[in-house]
């Protein structure tokens, strides 16, 4: 059975809106953890090209409609992503809000810089690593070289992220810094994350508890609001290749809020080449993927 990597494999800084609060998380790159493994790709993959279509039902057959997104991701021979090209189409406006991410990789396989080019603006990131290969700091710069935000990370002796802080300089649209503390309970197979305004641990911004299966993959997440009350629960399942095939989210009373599922077709290597996404049993999107190998 092939499984993706757990919590540490998340791809980039995200802010998830869960009920009442913002729950920030951030990923890191670690030596030995290449991007092919992070992206659950099998074999010596060189390029992954994806096209997203709106899905619609034609006489009981799920068909591809309008193109909504195109993405091409290139990996070097060591499995590190070096270039991503995006095309995000606003169908109603007939515009392409695309762009490119170009990564600089050092001789240790660490991504030390990224130039982001977008149709609506550019920015760059610089990343710094400790002696163990953990990414401990990332600075994001605006096009005018001013600092947009800084991510600072700490790790335990096992190389697991235990704290991250996202801080913004003064006079920006986001004036608050958020710190997330991450605790691991290996005996119970769970990960607990707590977020709060930096320096103000008394006022919780959000709390999440992830429950892991026997190979360390999150299969259930419970979210708590700023008052510490249980708000939502998410349960996910995976197929034998480690790809997510279902998710349902319930509220504090157990009522289903969202139900989603994914169906896949695979190539002979074991990488998926077609994916259909359903929301509440209605097909919403179809993704077709072409892979090129070394």
Q: pLDDT of the chain along its 294 residues, tens only?
A: 444 443 333 333 333 333 334 444 444 454 456 899 999 999 999 999 999 999 988 888 999 999 999 999 999 999 999 999 999 886 556 666 789 999 999 999 999 999 999 987 899 999 999 999 999 999 999 999 999 999 999 999 999 999 999 998 865 555 678 999 999 999 999 999 999 988 887 788 999 999 999 888 999 999 999 989 999 999 999 999 999 999 999 999 999 999 999 999 999 999 999 999 999 999 999 999 999 999
Which pLDDT does position 170 carry in this prediction?
A: 65
pLDDT at 121: 87
Residue 2 lies in a domain: no
Say what the pLDDT of residue 26 is: 40
What is the rounded CA–CA span in Å between residue 165 and residue 196? 10
Whether 196 is covered by a domain: the verdict is no
What is the rounded distance in angstroms from the CA atom of residue 44 to the CA atom of residue 290? 14
Tokens, residue 44: 């010596």
Q: Are 62 and 54 in contact (CB under 8 A)?
A: no
Other C-beta atoms closer than 10 Å to the C-beta of 45 total 20
Structural domain for 112, as ranges: 7-182+265-293
State how beta strands 61-75 and 147-155 pair: unpaired
Domain contains 246: no
Residue 285 lies in a domain: yes
Domain annotation covers residue 77: yes
**199, part of any domain:** no
DSSP summary character for residue 153: E
**Count of domains forming the chain:** 1
169 lies in a domain? yes
Question: Residue 75 has what DSSP assignment?
Answer: E
Sole residue written with tokens 């919590």: 7
Domain assignment of residue 177, yes or no: yes
First-to-final CA distance of the chain: 24
**What is the pLDDT at residue 261?**
97
């Amino acid at each position: 059975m092939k499984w993706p990597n757990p919590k540490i494999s998340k791809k980039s800084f995200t802010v998830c809106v869960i009920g009442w609060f913002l729950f920030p998380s951030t990923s890191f790159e670690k030596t030995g953890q290449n991007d092919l493994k992070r992206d659950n790709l099998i074999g010596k993959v060189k390029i992954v090209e994806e096209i997203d279509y709106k899905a619609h039902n034609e006489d009981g057959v799920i068909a591809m409609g309008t193109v909504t997104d195109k993405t091409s991701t290139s990996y070097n021979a060591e499995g590190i992503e070096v270039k991503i090209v995006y095309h995000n189409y606003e169908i109603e406006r007939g515009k392409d809000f695309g762009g490119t991410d170009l990564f600089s990789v050092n001789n240790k396989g660490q991504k030390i810089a990224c130039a982001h080019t977008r149709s609506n603006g550019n920015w760059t990131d610089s990343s710094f690593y400790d002696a163990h290969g953990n990414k401990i700091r990332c600075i994001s710069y605006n096009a005018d070289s001013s600092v947009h935000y800084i991510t600072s990370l700490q790790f335990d002796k096992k190389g697991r992220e235990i704290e991250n802080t996202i801080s913004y300089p003064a006079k920006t649209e986001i004036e608050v810094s958020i710190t997330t503390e991450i605790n691991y309970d290996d005996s119970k197979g769970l990960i607990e994350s707590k977020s709060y305004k930096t320096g103000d641990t008394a006022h919780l911004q959000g709390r999440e508890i992830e429950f892991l299966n026997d190979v360390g993959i999150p299969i259930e997440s419970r979210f708590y609001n700023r008052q510490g009350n249980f708000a939502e629960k998410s349960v996910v399942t995976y197929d034998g290749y480690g790809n997510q095939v279902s998710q349902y989210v319930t509220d504090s009373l157990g009522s289903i809020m969202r139900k989603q599922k994914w169906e896949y077709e695979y190539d002979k290597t074991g990488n998926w080449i077609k994916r259909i996404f359903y929301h509440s049993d209605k097909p919403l999107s179809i993704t077709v993927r072409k892979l090129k190998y070394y």
